[in-house]
């Protein structure tokens, strides 16, 4: 069963904080997404939907590093534009 977002149950800021590591790296190393998802393991579909909602805000705060010039979600899903990108599984 795909992970469903509980976005209506947490604030936008809390949801962005929960997705930030995943947006940067493509992994939820510290299980920060568990409170934001019905299923603790994020799916690409859930990530794409979250990126479409939160990506512009995330990118406004993004600071490139020597290791990562672009966040994983931008490379995977492209520019967020409020519609779900079709690159998800």
- Name the more confident of 86 and 39: 39
Q: What average pLDDT is seen over the chain?
A: 83
Q: What residues pair up with 5 in beta bridges, in sequence order?
A: 37
What is the pTM (predicted TM-score) of this model? 0.77
What does the pLDDT look like over 40-58, one tens digit per residue? 778 899 999 999 999 999 9
Contacts of 42 (CB under 8 A, 6+ apart): 3, 22, 28, 33
Q: What is the pLDDT of residue 8?
A: 54
Dist CA 71 CA 34 (whole Å): 21
Distances (CA, A) of 45 to 50, 60, 62, 68: 9, 23, 22, 23
């Amino acid at each position: 069963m795909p992970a469903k977002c509980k976005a209506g149950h947490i604030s936008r800021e809390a949801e962005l904080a929960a997705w930030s590591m995943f947006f940067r790296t493509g992994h939820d190393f510290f299980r920060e997404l568990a409170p934001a998802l019905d299923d603790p393991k994020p799916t690409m579909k859930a990530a794409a939907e979250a990126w479409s909602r939160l990506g512009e805000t995330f990118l406004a705060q993004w600071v490139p590093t020597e290791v990562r010039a672009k966040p994983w979600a931008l490379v995977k899903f492209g520019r967020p534009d409020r519609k779900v990108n079709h690159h998800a599984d």
